[in-house]
């Protein structure tokens, strides 16, 4: 992927991740613990998939685009 495209996609994906986190927090405010746990797992699955299929491949190709505060799996 072209570097500038990769940079743009990463910015959108991190924004997307933040919005998913906001949604999860909203669910937590209005749900019982069991319902929240179900949604938290679902949000986690979405984020895991985004990292596995989009973010990590981009960072593998363009490691200089990795934000300093991003924790990634050391086995990659």
Listed by start position, the domains of the chain span 3-63
What pLDDT is attached to residue 70?
81
CA distance 14 to 1: 18
What pLDDT is attached to residue 22?
96
0.85 cut: is pTM over it? no
Per-residue pLDDT tens for 2-53? 999 999 999 999 999 999 999 999 999 999 999 999 999 999 999 999 999 9
27 Cβ contact list (under 8 Å, min separation 6): 35, 36, 39, 40
Please give the C-alpha separations between residue 48 and each of 1, 29, 32, 35, 44, in angstroms, as whole numbers: 21, 23, 24, 20, 6
CA distance 74 to 76: 6
User: In Å, how far from its chain's centre is CA 36?
Assistant: 19
């Amino acid at each position: 992927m072209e570097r500038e495209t990769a940079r743009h996609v990463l910015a959108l994906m991190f924004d997307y991740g933040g919005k998913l986190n906001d949604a999860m927090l909203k669910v937590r405010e209005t749900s019982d613990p069991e319902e929240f746990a179900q949604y938290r797992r679902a949000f986690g699955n979405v984020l895991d998939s985004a990292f596995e299929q989009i973010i990590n491949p981009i960072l593998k190709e363009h490691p200089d685009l990795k934000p300093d505060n991003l924790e990634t799996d050391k086995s990659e």
